[in-house]
């Protein structure tokens, strides 16, 4: 299943079936059952949510724990036979599954309904019969019919006694016993079945529901048809065959491939989720320090991205990544990182950033540090303190770990920052400011192209590198 499908399926399965886990089915078998039922839902094209709901209610109708290691297969077989029985008649698939769950839940939880159904096939058969009138009202029709058949102390008491119906009579058997009595009276009085029912039952809902059960279920042969069909879909074999056919089909293989891609993406995201947190912290600091999403910085990034033809990756993202790596390094306890670890961040490519950052964070954790918080910050829940706070200092290296000088994202990034930020006084006329901006573009490109040449030389390994030619383009605001 896809993530959204799986979430809907498991949510409904646990909502309706978690109470039976460890009771009617063992924990291990429950997990196996959930996997097989999910596969069956895809094989039959059923609604994941409604299948999960049905699967949970099936567990409440029977004790599967007595089957031991075969409990999951037995439960799967009952769920499949219920779905198959309902699928043989009228009604929308998802609606029928929902109605099944509603009627099953009532049979387990409502006092007047308890004990009426002890088998999921019987519930499915009743839903299928009542759906002949209206699929979305099948469960309610069945409940009204059941209440009518339980009214031994009401007007219909004599009729129920005449039909031999007691509190222990199963619902379907009760309908079959009531039908010939009612039909005989209807024939004698030359009236409809509904008229006979109306003369004995005061509740209109019971009359309507019992009329459907007798006319469609008994006289129409729907009960007999569903019961005969149920015998052909018993046991886990039909369900397992459907799953096997799905897995061998192109549709099944494609579903597996798509699901595997999503899983791989989630696994990769889980590996890098901590670094993504630091990325957001870094972006927040850069924005606070006006080093991100400002007119000057956007101009810098625009020029770099255009002139480098994307060979350096996105300039804005590189600035964020370098700030994230610096933040991680600043949070490292003494001795947690080597000189190579510290210097390495200046040489990595965009494709290496996530892996490199994750490695640094793992080393910090092994040294009992916290790569997600600044040194000295209380380790409080994230919803109690801000994830980030203004970090004093800029890119200087007071400890001299890098041999002095200023730490920058890249050489050309330093040139861009130095060339743009604060270069034009606030009181300078706009015209001269525009001219100054155009003039600075030349120096920006020169520094950038020089850095590109150096990088090409370092990566060429003896290959001839043609000089990069680029014409400055400046967008003024």
- What distance separates the 2 farthest-apart alpha carbons in the chain? 111
* pLDDT above 80: residue 66: yes
Tokens found for residue 226: 């569903």
Q: Which of 118, 74, 124 is nearest to 101 (CA)?
A: 124
Query: How many C-alpha atoms does 474 have within 13 Å on its Cβ side?
Result: 18
Residue 347: φ, ψ to 5°: -115, -5
pLDDT of 348 strictly over 90: no
Say yes or no to pLDDT of 378 above 70.
no
Residue 453 lies in a domain: no
Q: State how far the Cα of 72 lies from the Cα of 428, in Å rounded to an integer.
A: 79
pLDDT in tens, 302-334: 887 787 776 667 888 888 998 999 999 999 998
- Rounded to two decimals, the pTM is 0.59
Tokens 């429950």, located at residue: 30
Structure tokens at 188: 């004698």
CA distances in angstroms from 471 to 27, 441, 474, listed in the order given: 68, 10, 10
Last residue of a domain, one of 367, 399, 414: 367
Confidence tier at 297 by pLDDT (50, 70, 90): confident
Residue 141 pLDDT = 95
In a domain, 394, yes or no: no
Under the banding of pLDDT at 50, 70 and 90, the label for residue 380 is: very low
Interatomic CA distance for residues 390 and 279, integer angstroms? 15
Task: Examine the domain organization and report whether 160 and 287 are in the same domain.
Answer: no
Nearest to 97 by CA among 82, 107, 110: 82
Q: Tell me what pLDDT residue 452 has.
A: 64
Domain that holds residue 326: 255-367
Number of domains in the chain: 2
Residue 447, in any domain of the structure: no
**pLDDT for position 400:** 39
Last residue of a domain, one of 245, 277, 298: 245
Tell me the three state secondary structure of residue 342.
helix
| Same domain flag for 103 and 82 | yes
78 in a structural domain: yes
Residues 147 and 221 in one domain: yes
Domain boundary among 367, 387, 407: 367
Which 3 state secondary structure label does DSSP give 343? helix
What tens digit of pLDDT does each residue of 150-198 get? 899 999 999 999 999 998 899 999 999 999 999 999 999 999 999 999 9
The reply to whether 392 falls in a domain is no
Q: What mean pLDDT is reported for the chain? A: 81
């Amino acid at each position: 299943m896809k993530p959204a499908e799986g979430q809907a399926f498991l949510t409904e399965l646990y909502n309706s079936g978690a109470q039976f886990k460890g009771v009617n089915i063992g924990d291990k078998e429950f997990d196996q059952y959930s996997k097989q039922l999910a596969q069956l839902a895809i094989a039959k094209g059923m609604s994941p949510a409604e299948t999960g709901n049905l699967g949970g209610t099936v567990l409440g109708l029977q004790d599967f724990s007595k089957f031991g290691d075969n409990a999951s297969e037995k439960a799967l077989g009952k769920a499949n036979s219920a779905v198959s029985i309902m699928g043989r008649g009228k009604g929308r698939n998802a609606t029928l599954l929902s109605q099944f769950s509603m009627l099953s839940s009532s049979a387990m939880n409502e006092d007047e309904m308890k004990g009426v159904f002890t088998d999921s096939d019987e519930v499915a058969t009743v839903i299928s019969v009542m759906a002949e009138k209206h699929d979305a009202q099948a469960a309610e029709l069945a409940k009204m019919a059941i209440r009518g058949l339980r009214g031994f102390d009401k007007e219909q008491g004599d009729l129920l006694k005449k039909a031999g119906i007691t509190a222990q009579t199963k619902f379907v058997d009760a309908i079959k016993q009531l039908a010939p009595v009612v039909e005989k009276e209807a024939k004698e009085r030359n009236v409809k079945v509904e008229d006979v029912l109306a003369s004995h039952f005061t509740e209109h809902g019971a009359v309507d529901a019992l009329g459907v059960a007798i006319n469609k279920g008994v006289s129409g042969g729907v009960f007999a048809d569903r019961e005969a069909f149920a015998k052909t879909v018993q046991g886990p074999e039909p369900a397992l065959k459907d799953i096997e056919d799905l897995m061998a089909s192109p549709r099944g293989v494609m579903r597996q491939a798509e699901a595997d891609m999503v899983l791989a993406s989630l696994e990769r995201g889980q590996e890098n989720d901590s670094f993504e947190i630091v990325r957001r912290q870094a972006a927040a600091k850069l924005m606070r320090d006006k080093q991100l999403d400002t007119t000057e910085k956007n101009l810098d990034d625009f020029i770099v991205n255009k002139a480098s033809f994307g060979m350096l990756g996105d300039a804005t993202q590189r600035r964020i990544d370098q700030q994230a790596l610096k933040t991680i390094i600043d949070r490292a306890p003494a001795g947690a990182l080597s000189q190579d670890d510290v210097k390495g961040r200046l040489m990595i490519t965009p494709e290496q950033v996530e892996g490199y950052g994750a490695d640094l964070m793992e080393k910090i954790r092994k040294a009992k540090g916290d790569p997600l918080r600044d040194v000295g910050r209380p380790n409080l829940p994230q919803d109690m303190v801000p994830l980030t706070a203004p970090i004093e200092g800029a890119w200087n290296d007071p400890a001299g770990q890098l041999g002095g000088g200023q730490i920058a994202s890249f050489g050309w990034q330093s040139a861009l920052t130095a060339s743009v930020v604060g270069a034009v006084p606030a009181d300078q006329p706009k015209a001269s400011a525009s001219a100054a901006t155009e003039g600075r573009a030349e120096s920006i490109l020169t520094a950038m192209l020089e850095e590109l040449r150096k990088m090409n030389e370092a990566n060429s390994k003896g290959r001839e590198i043609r000089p990069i030619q680029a014409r400055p383009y400046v967008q003024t605001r």
